[in-house]
Amino acid sequence: MSVSSWRRCGAAVLVAAVGLIAAACQTPSVPLPLGVVPAATGLPAGAQDGTLTVPLTCSLPILGNTTFILNMSGVGGTLVGPGQSFYLTAGHGSLTVPASLIALSGIVGTASVQTTLTDVEFNASNATPSSINIAKTPISVSTPIVAGQPTKVRIPSAGDLTIGPFTAGPSGVVQMTMGASTATITLLNASGGTILVPLTVTCAAPTPPVVLVGLTIGGPSGQPVQRYDGLTVGDATLPAGFVEGSLALPLTCSVTGIGSVPIVGELTGSLPAYLPEGNNYYFQDGSGILEFPASVVTSIVATTGASRISGSITTLNFTATGSTPASLNGAATPIPVAPVPLTAGQGLNIGIPQSGVLTIGPFTPIAGAPLSTLVLGTSGGTLQPEDASGNAIGSPLAVSCGAPDPATILLQEPNTTGTVPTVGVIAPLTGPAAGGTSVTLTGTGFTGALAVNFGNTYAASFTVNSDTSITVTTPPHPAGEVDVTVLGPQGPSPTVTQDYFTYQ
């Protein structure tokens, strides 16, 4: 389960009958500009989809340890019942072949690379089996190589993967994490002939573990198999070390004069996969949709004669464990909802925000806490019936929504300790949108760097010269100013004013 400018105190995110919004000033660090995530659509209540981009440390003959970038997407649930069987569906992704291997390929006249995955482990806590190898039947993909350009290998070459079945335990949370993987890379010439010998690549599980999805175990036992077939997930562009996703939440809300009603709240946004102690993180690039059933709209029209409705978000409770603050009400200043027309007998979808995107945070991992978890709490607001000219009809209708029960997890990742990189100087500061500019980063803690991100795009080629210097080739990116961050084993460098690069 990814902003215009982030140099301001952010408005926040919504999910609930009338919202989920959090706001905070950007101190001491600010969110990364990841690009707009489309509003969530088409997910059934209780489902989530998402995309993860994470560096893998892999060992190759001759080249030694090399970093591959894995991008993986899929669909699953937000919760499972005790003993319920479940799957992750619509699984697909890409593996970026490192520049060092592409350079070697050019020397020996390689036209394409054939990648055969033989072991790709997905682990599940509080579930059986505890691990599944999705490449038990080898997955083979052949990809052309273009000199001077990064090579992305799609996995699988066509269609999607289904991961499972897993069976949930009696209680707690199921954490799905990426395990170790093994592949064979074969270099092919233009005639399809093998060059040299196949290279065996072994990749360790990400350290610290990266949680792909967290599913709360709750509700009645004896539920049917959970499997969301027929849904698709697009290919998202994310910086390395981030997760983006959408989820659809069934909510129970009370509306003045109508009573208790079911509403579906859809929420989309992005979060970091690494949470260094003491460094701020945000739920960012947020957007939402509130889906009111036709019965609610019909009741409002019948009792008020309204032609449209507006409103505001006035209450949000957002709970964190393992991070501070422990709770956050982000709608102390009401957040307006744009007027939308009402038609009796038809459902109503309200998009949040009116324009732009939303941000929750900052949150800060607590020293000594092993894990940070963010969950949605109660929320509320008002709906104002109006005539066709926008004149208020009667008093606003109060809306109050309970917290999802069982709790719906937005984030559950380990808190990391140790030094993270810092970026102090970038030279040059500008380059073309087509990419290809050689840039030198000066800072600290670069030893062991896993990736370099320019805004929402990771660089396919970089060299760690020393603990204080990195040379990197800029990736293509739309024109504008972006943050440059270095992802280390314990997390990303904090965003600071001197780490901006401008694409022209």
Q: H helices of 147-215, where?
A: none
- For residues 1 and 64, the model is more confident at 64
For the stretch 57-95, pLDDT in tens is 889 887 788 888 888 899 999 889 999 999 999 998 888
Q: How far apart are the first and last CA of the chain?
A: 33
Q: Do domains 48-217 and 422-503 have the same CATH topology?
A: yes
How confident is residue 23, by pLDDT bands cut at 50, 70 and 90? very low
For residue 148, what pLDDT is reported?
60
Spatial separation of the C-alpha atoms in residues 385 and 396, rounded to whole Å: 7
What confidence category does residue 147 fall into, taking pLDDT thresholds of 50, 70 and 90? Answer: low
- 411 — pLDDT class (breaks 50, 70, 90): confident
Cα dihedral value 423, 53, 488, 184, nearest 10: -130
How far CA 88 is from CA of 13, 21, 77, in Å, comes to: 26, 29, 8
Q: What phi-psi label fits residue 190: left (phi over 0), alpha (psi between -120 and 50 degrees) or beta? A: alpha
* Mean pLDDT over each residue of the chain, to the nearest integer: 83
Point out the least confidently predicted range of 104-118, 215-229, 325-339: 104-118
Residue 245: closest CA among 94, 18, 415, 53 = 53
The token duo for 400 is 């109050």
pLDDT at 471 over 90: yes
Share of the chain above pLDDT 70, in %: 88
What is the DSSP secondary-structure string of 5-21?
Answer: --SS-B-----SSS---
| Residue 102 confidence (pLDDT) | 67
pLDDT digits (tens, 9 = 90+) for 159-182: 899 999 999 999 999 999 889 999
User: Tokens at residue 443, please?
Assistant: 């800072």
Q: What pLDDT, on a 0 to 100 scale, did the predictor assign at position 10?
A: 29
Distance, CA of 295 to CA of 261 (rounded, Å): 9
pLDDT band at 299 (very low <50, low <70, confident <90, very high): very high
Determine the average pLDDT of the residues in 111-126.
90
Residue 397 has pLDDT above 50, yes or no: yes
Contact 273, 54 (CB under 8 A): yes
pLDDT of 107 reads: 60
pLDDT at 235 over 90: no
**pLDDT attached to residue 101:** 67
Domain boundaries, the chain: 48-217, 242-416, 422-503
Measured CA to CA, the distance from residue 25 to residue 490 in angstroms comes to: 25
Instruction: Give tens-digit pLDDT for 353-377.
Output: 777 777 878 899 999 999 999 888 8
Q: What is the dotted CATH code of the domain comprising 242-416?
A: 2.60.40
Residue 114's pLDDT band, with cuts at 50, 70 and 90, is: confident
3 versus 443: which is more confidently predicted? Answer: 443
- pLDDT of 194 > 80? The answer is yes
Residue with the two structure tokens 């129970």: 252
Q: What average pLDDT does range 184-206 have in this prediction?
A: 86
What is each CA distance from 110 to 156, 190, 305, 316, 452, in whole angstroms?
Answer: 22, 7, 71, 56, 27
Average pLDDT over residues 471-476: 93
18 or 106, which is more confident: 106
Q: Is pLDDT of 288 > 60?
A: yes
DSSP notation for 402-466: PPPSSPPEEEEEEEE-S---EEEEEES-EE-TT---EEEEEEE--TT--EEEETTEE-SEEEEEE
Whether 221 has a pLDDT exceeding 60, the answer reads: yes
Least confident of 234-238, 340-344, 464-468: 234-238
Residue 99 has a pLDDT of 65
Q: What is the pLDDT of residue 439?
A: 97
Q: What whole-number distance in Å separates Cα of residue 479 and Cα of residue 476?
A: 9
The mean per-residue pLDDT over the stretch 476-495 comes to 91
Which pLDDT value is given to residue 41? 52
Q: What is the pLDDT of residue 131?
A: 96
* The amino acid at 345: G
Asked if residue 5 has pLDDT above 80, the reply is: no
Highest mean pLDDT among 9-23, 27-41, 196-210, 393-407: 393-407
Inter-residue contact 237 to 454 (CB < 8 Å): no
**Range with the lowest mean pLDDT among 102-116, 187-201, 286-300, 410-424?**
102-116
What value does the CA radius of gyration of the chain take, rounded to a whole number of Å?
A: 24
Residue environment code for 130-162, b if the CB has 16+ CB neighbours within 10 A, otherwise e? eebbbbeeebebebebeeeebbbbebbeeebbb
In the predicted model, is pLDDT for residue 444 greater than 90? yes
Compute CA distances 466 → 239, 417, 441, 447, whole Å. 23, 22, 11, 7
The conformation of residue 170, written as its DSSP 8-state character, comes to: S
- Which one is predicted more confidently, 147 or 380? 380
In the predicted model, is pLDDT for residue 382 greater than 70? yes
422-503, which class in CATH?
mainly beta
Alpha helix (H) residue ranges in 91-247: 99-107
- What is the third-level CATH fold of 48-217? Immunoglobulin-like (2.60.40)
**Number of other residues whose CB lies within 10 A of the CB of residue 336:** 12
